[in-house]
Structure 1
Amino acid sequence: MNLPSPHWAALFAATIASALPMSIPAAPVTQQHYEQLIHQARTGEHDAALGYLRTLDHGAHRSDGQANRLRDHVLIASWAGLDDEVIDLYQRYAQDQHWTPDMLGAAARALRFRHNWSQAEILYARAMQAAPQDPQLRAGHILTQADAGKLAQAMPLARTWLAQSPDAPLPHLVLAYVQSQAGQDYDAWHTLDLAHARWPDDRQIITALINAMQTIGLAAPALALAASHPGLLDATAHRDLELDAVAGSVRLSSLPARSEAERFDIADRALQRYDTLLADWARQLPETQDAMRRARLDRLDALASRQQWRAVAQEYEALAADAAIDSPYVLRLAGSAYLELRQPEHAIPCFEQALTRLTQDDEERMLAELGLFYALVETEDFERAYAVVAEANRRDARLSIAGQPEPQPNARRLDTQLATDMADLYANATDRAVEKLEALLRRAPGNQHLHIALAESHRARMWPRHAERRLKIAEALAPRDIPLMTGQGLTALELREWRQTDMLAAETLRRDPESWPVKRLNRLFDVYRKAELRISGHRGLSNDSPVSGNGDYSVDAVIYTPPIDYDWRAFAGLGRAYGQFEEGNIGYNWQRAGLERRSRDLWLEGEISRNSYGQGHRTGLRLAAAYDLDDHWQLGGEAALLARDTPLRALRNGIRSNGLTLFARWLGSERQQWRMEVGTNRFSDGNQRYRWTLTGQTRLYTRPHVSLDALWALEASRNSQSDTPYYSPRADLDIAPALQISHILYRRYETVWEQVFQAGAGAYVQRDYGTAATGLIGYGQRLRMHDVFEAGLMVTATSRPYDGVRERETRIQFDLNYRF
């Protein structure tokens, strides 16, 4: 049942009560003094008159004068808003005193304000029997029916009265009130607007119009109307209207139809207005205390529109320290701020508290559920995240909306369905995410957010060209959309479209500098523009291999300059390899420098090197290239004069080699890939070595923090000479399948720490020596931090034969990549 709003209740109390007549007693105790009391009561000073009237026993006498004093008592108490006193007088004297229509009307009004609508209706009916044309009684009767929820009776009575008395203001006020109680706020505003056009100076109409405009969100013009009639509103109502007006401008700042600069300008002006109001009201404490708290709470929305998330969080914490915050909207806003600040642990309780205060049908509930979902994802709690969006998806796909003949699509449900599909992506179930997004997109092909989400899934599957095409389709819907341009920038970065990335990063940063996806794009582009240091190597821990020797180690370090004209980088590096063999030790040192080109589809690298391995200094050359045919196929090769993969034992004996390698790689997705490589080395001793290699990876099991892959390796070689000082089998075949378990120990945004287990068993076949089993076991860890640092360490132990003699090797491998 609808209850009367404070604005309307106060309005009609003042409107009706001020029009009630007041009798002048025929036989006052002291005529002049009594008249003064009544005059004071008419001007609003009720205490003196009521103080005197309360001393009288209205039931002790039956004279007309005493009856008039009872009437005066009832009416003055009604003017003073003392509803309980009016009701008490009625209950005490209604049986033994004659109650006039205006007295009954005052009692009915008091009962109405105490929500005793049934009794109020009875009294209004009695009063109207005696005075059927009294407009105040007629108005009170209709208003009481509206308050009681009897809108089917109140509405035709109000319309009939307005039709009968179109030239009186009161019927317009009554109809507007009934319309407001019926939820027809715009109709109420229209009724009052027409009345204001006819009676522009009527204060009751102006007050009601201001309230109606405030109700429908037209607080700014309502404030302007109030400013043109000073003193019309009391200080509290005026402060509320001021805050509603500023809040309305904040809502305008979030409308997508405006440019980012316009929205930020509106939000900035709203923040300035809040600061002015707070400074002004701080000088009027304590009566402005409630208004100041509301202003500070409302100001959070303006800060959020301006994307000043740290300020939102700080102000929320200050407000929460003063008093508990029950507003689900404010709690959700605080949760969003903590998410933007990458503090999901603080965001989760905010969203959870908001949900406890929201009904199942509240639109705000879905927004809080989505916020909780993303907070849980960022804390790696995928199980709870799935549960949250599953609960949200149980709601109806269509909603019944007042004024619409048929149920309308529930736009928020699409958001939760999208979140459900993205949950698969975040939980590493990329294949399922793509399938579900494609199915959802078939049902809503015009939804740009779905295209952008599918493109993100394609990038996760290592299909940047698929993502590029998908975003090109989305571009036709809203080409200047910030999420679209951000997605295009991230895709261009993966495609090595540096100039396009630069343009998109700069444009999105100019338009929306506080957006986290925009910051992310610019961060990654800044990383691309940094210099780069790469270090890799290994150390034999327990080896006696005829290939690498005993006590072997190698290290290679290279530094790349920042990009030159986007595509080019110069680099320089040095390295050393060492091994111990029966015939002696060898140390191999090299220094190198060159150029690298990275552009769309094409990667090139050429270098010149200086090599020293106990035979003087020799110059080496290397040229490598790779070309991407599409998202799946890549072709490439490498040619080297004085190849660095020449066995150390060959170099120890003064034998060098030149090499040529060609490869083709097929990439199905991040879960499956194969690489076939053929190569040859021409040794200076006349030996010609040919190599064929097939390697692959197939995902067997995937969970958010654990994956299991099958690693395939098949390598064959043939040498034209086998009687060489270095290991050179006439022909061999190495079959080495393995399983690899990757386990994420810790992940928080760009920081990932994982461990890797490897175990494999295979066979090695060597001509003239038969077949023997091989085995491998390994353990390693890898750390990635802040997009600029990555390092890995792996310890492996292998067992395999060389020339029929089983050898065991234990080695540690390491690599480091740092951008600065």
Structure 2
Amino acid sequence: MIRLESFPLPTRSPPTGARSLRAYPTLRQLIAAALVAQAGLAIPLAGNAQSADTAGAPRAATASPYDATRHDALVGAVRDGSTSPSQAVDQLNAWAAQPLAPAVRQRVRADTIVFAMRAGDAASAVRYARADGGIAGLPDYALEFVFQAARSIPDHALQGEAVAQLRSRQPEAWRPRVLEALWLTDTGEFDRAETVLNVLAARSAGSDLEQRVALLEARGALNEARERPLEALGNYTDLNAIDPGHRYARREGTFLLGQVDAPTAAWKEAQAASPDMFTPLERASMQQQALGRSLRWAIAERDQAVGHGPARFVRMDEVLAGFEPAIQEANTAEAQARAAADEESARAWRDLSLQLRYDRMLAWLERGRFPAVIAEYEALRADGVNPPYYALSAAAGAYQQQRRSDLAVPLYEAALRDGGSAIPTPSDTHVGLVYAYLDTAQFEQADALLTQLETATPPLLRRSPERGRANPQYGAVRNLRALEQLYTDRPAVAERSFGILSGLAPMHSGFRDGQAQTQRLREHPDAALALYEELLTDSPDDVSVRAGYATALMDANQHRAGRELTDALEQEAPESIAVRNAVRMRDGRQAARLDIEAGASWGGGALSNRDWRTDTTLSSPLIDDQWRVFYHQIFAQADVDQGSSRLARSGLGLQWTEGRWGASGEIHHANQGPYRTGLALGLNYRASDAWRFAAEIDTNSPETPWRARRADIGAHSAAAAATYVVNESRSFTGRVQRMDYSDGNQRDAVGLSWRERLITGPRFQLESTLGAEVAGADRQDVPYFSPSRERAVELGLRAQYLTWKRDDRRFYQVVQAGTGRYNQAGFGSGALWSVRYQHQWDIGDALQLSYGLGISSHPYDGRSERSREVFLTISVPLQ
């Protein structure tokens, strides 16, 4: 599989700057610079007859008639806290209902606006401001609160009216100009706002603290509106330096740290702040963002610490340990909020808990804990939760790793649909979907998606500081296309693609890895090993390259080196797809195995009238990476004209493989015949990627004709073969065989064959085999078929159709047909033909099963005989 590390990982963790950390974002609208937000209660008294501690200050609305003394007492009561602003609003409304002089009514309305804002009721404050002819008659102190209320709604028109009134009344004052800059910022007039602030800054050299604070606040608000978080953070940092107790600057600066991709620093700031600076929800939100950032760092640390074994995961495990208490805290807070009937807070805590769970899914995926990711996703769905796109992508990746690409496909598709423009092209989600399509035989969809990625990824960047800058993703997409060609059984096309790519970038490890994989699939194990060894010289720590080298070693029967390298990689990088593939291959090669071949035929007469046969081999696990002990059992029976014959042969053997060589020896015993106890030997040698040689001897040949066995005649056999392999699509084989019968007869045969794949593709393959054989026997006065000379030429076709596929589980339908001519000395020539239909199941590393039926016709002694057959083969690794 492709190394996902070659693509950016935009969907591996949530975008930290995509959402505000603030639990209550509306608080930002309440900031109207230091002149309002941090001002004291600015309401003037009518006189000094009453003060804040005046006896009998009202505590609630009364029906007493209005007078200035009572009004001053109300202001003092709010100032000292004995009356709440909302109570004061009620009292002022009661007075406003009475007949009042115009000046008095304006004062009552002005203070009602101020107290409504103090009570947090901006909407009522705006309503009072627009009553009784508008704001023209309001005093200056009330206009600042009108501005603040209008900004909170927002009501930009009322903001502008308040600014205009203040500027007309205080043309030289700086406070109205600051409010003007805020209003221009709120209405998107950023350049005009900056001009106002620049003019003020030029005039404010040596100004007092209040003015400097107000200017920094306004600049911070402007830079935030312009989406310049770094500049805004600098403004609030300067503000904290001159006014350490400035609450808003401290809060906003901390939030901005999260926005500028420093959530860990924001979390540390929140931890160091006073308890009342941030709400528990705000702190928990910052912790969640910090955990997400720490996860990204941990992933990068893991990827850079190749070759360090389990130590690569220390930091990631530390981050993972932080999720569970954070989730528990959020769940507890949600339960408490629901118990208090605070649904808004409960929803906020619920959202935070879900966000933490999504992040933990990503962490589990990167840690290789795929069952945990799947269990969490299924638990979320059971609760009716629709996870966001990046969590869907994580769940899809986990299903894919667990060999359930059929479940991964809809999740990847949903992730791309829901993520939209938030997911760059290409991304790991696109790559995962390409492979999920391939693993579920949706080859047309995979090709269409790859075409989409190629279209969206030109060779040169469309936007870059200078023209002609290469697109770093272009090569990755081209590499993905070549791998798609390789994995859809088009290795010749893939070889050309990787050759072009390696020519463009000779040192690119991904392209060279693809070349090595192609040589493996083209049945060139030596070439694959050489490419990997060369590549490891340049990239000794590349996990995917080392895993590919391990599989190439096992292909070349260098089992010890392959196993040791795979063992090390399994400890070092268990989450890697390439490593997991190598582990599966190692386990299959090392495991014990049961192989069964069975068949039955009927209808012929020259060889037998009816026969059946089972050939079973039970092999031990690989011993010392070279040896296997095996038990071999043959049961067979045939009916001939003279009666029936039965063969039961049991053997115990030893098999050895190391590199280019392979050998086996078996001592066997049969139930009948002159050679009941015997020996079978086999030898294989791979001289190069092109030449393979084999030889075998059996002192009681299983190929002895049934009519010979019925006559108590046995046979020794010896055979040798040489194969020239061009590639997976073409090979040539020559074979010689001698059979020495116990009755003194000898049969010699020489054969040649040429195999050629005519059509290759992911769904359909067509192969042809052209074979010719010449044979002859010394004697014809024997009770079995033994012509003095025979020749045959046959052309066979094998069509294979992929009917179903899910990851490494496949179902094929196979049709084989052959036709040719057979010539027998003394009887002339005749046509021969055969047809077979077969089902073939490959259930990953767990089972290979095929079964089918066939019919054939062959001339014997000048007479064509038709026979029918059924067959079954099973191969099961016992692991």
What is the TM-score of this pair, normalised by structure 2?
0.83
SS in 2 for 1:772: strand
Structure 2 Cα separation of the partners of residues 495 and 658 of structure 1 = 32
Q: Deviations over 1:210-232 (max 9, x none)?
A: 11112123223223222333211
In structure 2, C-alpha distance between the alignment counterparts of 1:436 and 1:638, rounded to whole Å? 41
Q: Structure 1 pair 118/746, CA: closer, same or farther in 2 (3 Å)?
A: same
1:567 matches 2:616 = no
Match of 1:247 among 279, 292, 310: 292
State the partner residue of 2:304.
257
Which letter does structure 1 place at the counterpart of 2:324?
Q
CA pair 118-421 structure 1, distance change in 2 beyond 3 A: farther
Moved more, 503-512 or 421-430: 421-430
- 1-structure distance, mates of 2:423, 2:855: 61
**In structure 1, distance between residues paired with 2:744 and 2:235:** 104
Q: Could you tell me how far 1:417 is from its partner in structure 2?
A: 4.5
Distance 1:126 1:446 in 2: 71
Q: Which residue of 1 aligns with 2:669?
A: 610
Extract unaligned runs of 5+ from structure 1.
none
**852, 858, 867: which one aligns with 1:794:** 852
What are the Cα deviations for residues 646-687 of structure 1, in whole angstroms up to 9, with x where unaligned?
Answer: 434444445544433222223333333332212333445554
Shift in CA distance, 441/770, structure 1 to aligned 2, threshold 3 Å: same
CA distance in 1, matches of 2:752, 2:514: 35
Report the equivalent of 2:718: 660
Note the alpha carbon deviations across 1:311-360, whole angstroms, 9 max, x for none. 33333344345455363223333333333344444433333333333334
Distance in 1 separating the partners of 2:327 and 2:859: 80
Aligned-partner Cα distance in 1 for 2:632–2:708? 23
Alignment of 1:95-106 (within 5 A): 97-106=136-145
**Residue 781 of structure 1 contacts residue 792 of structure 1 at CA under 8 Å; is this kept in 2?**
yes
Among 690, 694, 699, the alignment partner of 1:636 is 694
Residue identity matched to 2:833: G
Distance 1:742 1:105 in 2: 83
1:15-43 residue CA offsets vs partner (Å, 9 max, x unmatched): 43332762224167252564344552686
Higher relative contact order (CA 8 A, sep 6+): 2
Q: Report what 2:61 is aligned to.
A: none
Task: Note the alpha carbon deviations across 1:64-100, whole angstroms, 9 max, x for none.
Answer: 4443333323333344443333333343345584344
What are the residue-to-residue correspondences of 1:535-614 with 2, within 5 Å? 535-545=596-606, 548-582=607-641, 585-614=644-673
Say whether 1:12 aligns with 2:63.
no
1:122-178 Cα shifts (integer Å, max 9, x gaps): 643552343356554333333333333333333455456556458633333333332
Following superposition, the deviation at residue 436 of structure 1 comes to: 3.1
Pick which of 478-487 and 91-100 moved more: 91-100
Change (3 A) 1:3 1:808: closer
Counterpart residue identity of residue 266, structure 1: E
Matched, 1:235 2:283: no
CA distance in 1, matches of 2:198, 2:396: 48
Q: Hey, what does 2:814 align to over in structure 1? A: 756
* Corresponding residue of 2:872: 814
After TM superposition, the structure 1 = structure 2 runs for residues 494-573 of structure 1, keeping only pairs within 5 Å, are 494-515=555-576, 517-545=578-606, 548-573=607-632
Is the Cα–Cα contact under 8 Å of residues 271 and 303 in structure 1 kept in the other structure?
Answer: no
* Structure 1 residue 306 displacement after superposition: 2.3
The verdict on how the C-alpha distance between 1:521 and 1:135 changes in structure 2, with shifts beyond 3 A counting, is farther
Contact 2:648 2:670 in 1 (8 A): yes
Q: C-alpha deviations, 1:452-474, integer Å up to 9, x for none?
A: 44444443433444443444454
Partner of 2:801: 743
CA distance, structure 2, for counterparts of residue 186 and residue 476 of structure 1 = 44
Note closer, same or farther for the CA distance 1:218–1:527 as it changes in structure 2 (3 Å cut): same
Amino acid at match of 1:227: Q
In 2, Cα distance between the equivalents of 1:113 and 1:515? 52
| Alpha-carbon separation, structure 2, partners of 1:172 and 1:394 | 47
CA RMSD, 1 decimal: 3.5
Native 8 Å contact 2:750 2:775 kept in 1: yes
Which deviates more, 324-333 or 778-787? Answer: 324-333
Q: Which amino acid aligns with 1:172?
A: L
In structure 2, distance between residues paired with 1:503 and 1:3: 48
Counterpart of 1:432 in 2: which secondary structure? helix
Q: Shift of the alpha carbon at 1:252?
A: 2.6
Return 5+ residue gaps in structure 2 as ranges: 1-17, 48-65, 306-310, 339-344
2:110 is aligned with 1:71? yes
C-alpha contact (below 8 Å) 1:359/1:365 kept by paired residues? no
- Distance in 2, Cα, partners of 1:100 & 1:441: 79
**1:271 and 2:323 equivalent?**
yes
Corresponding residue number in structure 1 for 2:541: 480
Tell me the equivalent position of 2:363: 305
Q: Does 1:204 align with 2:273?
A: no
Q: Is the 8 A contact 1:173 1:208 kept in 2?
A: no
- Are the structure 2 counterparts of residues 46 and 488 from structure 1 closer, same or farther at C-alpha, using a change threshold of 3 Å? farther
CA offsets, 1:357-388, max 9 Å, x none?
33347428844433433333333222223223
Instruction: Give 1:389 deviation, angstroms.
Output: 3.0
Partner SS state of residue 284, structure 1? helix
CA separation of 1:466 and 1:285: change in aligned 2, threshold 3 A: farther
**C-alpha separation in 2, matches of 1:526 and 1:663:** 31
Structure 1 match to 2:262: 218
Q: Which of 119, 123, 130 does residue 84 from structure 1 map onto?
A: 123
Secondary structure at the counterpart of residue 456 of structure 2: coil
Instruction: Name the stretch that deviates more: 411-420 or 336-345.
Output: 411-420
The reply to whether residue 709 of structure 1 matches residue 770 of structure 2 is no
What is the distance in 2 between the residues matched to 1:54 and 1:456? 84
Q: TM-score, normalised by structure 1?
A: 0.89
Note closer, same or farther for the CA distance 1:787–1:82 as it changes in structure 2 (3 Å cut).
same
Aligned 8 A contact 2:856 2:867 in 1: yes
2:254 equivalent to 1:193: no
- In structure 1, distance between residues paired with 2:696 and 2:225: 81
Q: How does 1:26-425 map to 2 (within 5 A)?
A: 26=46, 29=67, 31=69, 34-37=72-75, 39-40=77-78, 45-57=84-96, 64-93=103-132, 97-117=136-156, 120-121=159-160, 123-131=162-170, 134-155=173-194, 157-158=196-197, 161=200, 164-165=204-205, 168-230=212-274, 231-255=276-300, 256-257=303-304, 260-278=312-330, 280-282=332-334, 284-286=336-338, 287-307=345-365, 308-325=369-386, 327-360=388-421, 362-363=423-424, 366-397=427-458, 404=465, 411=472, 415-425=476-486
CA contact 2:440–2:807 (8 Å) conserved in 1: no
How many Å separate the matches in 1 of 2:246 and 2:613? 95
The structural deviation recorded for 1:763 is 0.6
Query: Could you say if the C-alpha distance between residues 320 and 79 of structure 1 is closer, same or farther in structure 2, counting changes exceeding 3 Å?
Result: farther
Deviation of residue 569 (structure 1)?
0.9
Contact 1:692 1:715 (8 Å CA) reproduced:
yes
The answer to whether the 8 A contact 1:634-1:665 is kept is yes
**For structure 1, which segment, 90-99 or 145-154, has the greater mean C-alpha deviation from structure 2 after superposition?**
90-99
**Cα deviation digits, residues 751-781 of structure 1 (max 9, x gap):** 3332321222111123333221111111222
Which SS does the other structure have where 1:563 is aligned?
Answer: coil
Offset of 1:734 from its aligned partner?
Answer: 0.8
Render the CA deviation track for 1:402-425: whole Å, top value 9, x for unaligned: 9x5668665556555444444334
CA spacing shift, 1:42–1:729, aligned 2, 3 Å: farther
For residue 566 of structure 1, report the CA deviation from its aligned partner: 0.8
- The Cα of 1:727 is off from its aligned counterpart by 2.6
Distance in 1 separating the partners of 2:461 and 2:138: 53
User: CA 1:321–1:569 in 2, change beyond 3 Å: closer, same or farther?
Assistant: closer
Cα deviation digits, residues 488-514 of structure 1 (max 9, x gap): 333222222222232233223223445
Whether the aligned pair in 2 keeps the contact of 1:678 and 1:690 (CA below 8 Å) is yes
Residues 754, 529 of structure 1: CA spacing in aligned structure 2 closer, same or farther, 3 A cutoff?
same
Partner AA of 2:418 in structure 1 = R
